[in-house]
Amino acid sequence: MSWDWNYTGEILPDLLSGLRITIAATLLGYVIALVLGLVWTLLQRTPSRAFNLAVHWVAEFIRSTPLLVQLAFVFFVLPGWGLTLSALTAGIIGLGVHYSTYTAEVYRAGIADVPRGQWEAATALNLPRRRVWRSVILPQAFRRVIPTLGNYLIAMFKDSPLLMGITVVELLNSAYQAGAKSLQLLEPLTVVAALFIIVSVVSSLIIRRLERRYATN
């Protein structure tokens, strides 16, 4: 099989369009994962043990269920219950909710790693509990978990091809559609692989830079 550069040039705009959708879905899903993951973590620190266990097992169920199954549930099953979402919206929500259970564990570890003396100092200063979390604990916890949170961003990007299962025309789906029209898959799949590598490597370098600048040992 020989490489067809003319064909590659023809399909590249469609592949780049798919890449934009992939990146948008990843970033928006990541925002959901960051916010909802913190919510999971804080809910598990409430005084009620029964409530904490309930939240824990809900998060554990989501984390233990295949992402593709969750995406299919959101896109194909929820409309039967009166909630219809576009494929891209369903994909973003599915990615965000699934990965929020992982970021929750990252936050939990970061909070646990904050020195006990910080809690005691805040108590001695009689700071309101909300301010203790906002100004003392969470800023320190975030700095400790920047590398791990960054790794989950890259992992989410690499899981984005699963959105093809709910008809999102992301990067891999764009390649398959181009290949189906021309019956040539070598060029589109190779370009897709190259784009995934480029974006992942660049993201990794940015995350490492943020880690050196903001993270603490």
Output the pTM of the full model: 0.91
Q: What pLDDT is attached to residue 202?
A: 94
HEC sequence for the chain: CCCCHHHHHHHHHHHHHHHHHHHHHHHHHHHHHHHHHHHHHHHCCCCCHHHHHHHHHHHHHHHHCCHHHHHHHHHHHHHHHCCCCCHHHHHHHHHHHHHHHHHHHHHHHHHHCCCHHHHHHHHHCCCCHHHHHHHHHHHHHHHHHHHHHHHHHHHHHHHHHHHHHHCCCCHHHHHHHHHHHHCCCHHHHHHHHHHHHHHHHHHHHHHHHHHHHHCCC
Predicted confidence at residue 86, as pLDDT, reads 96
Higher pLDDT, 120 or 173: 173
Digit-coded pLDDT (tens) for 107-118 = 999 888 888 888
- Give the residue, 198 or 143, on which the prediction is more confident: 198
Instruction: Give pLDDT tens digits for 157-212.
Output: 999 999 999 999 999 999 999 999 998 999 999 999 999 999 999 999 998 888 88
* Topology, domain 5-214: MetI-like fold (1.10.3720)
Domain limits, the chain: 5-214
Q: Tens of pLDDT along 35-52?
A: 999 999 999 888 888 998
Q: What is the pLDDT of residue 126?
A: 78
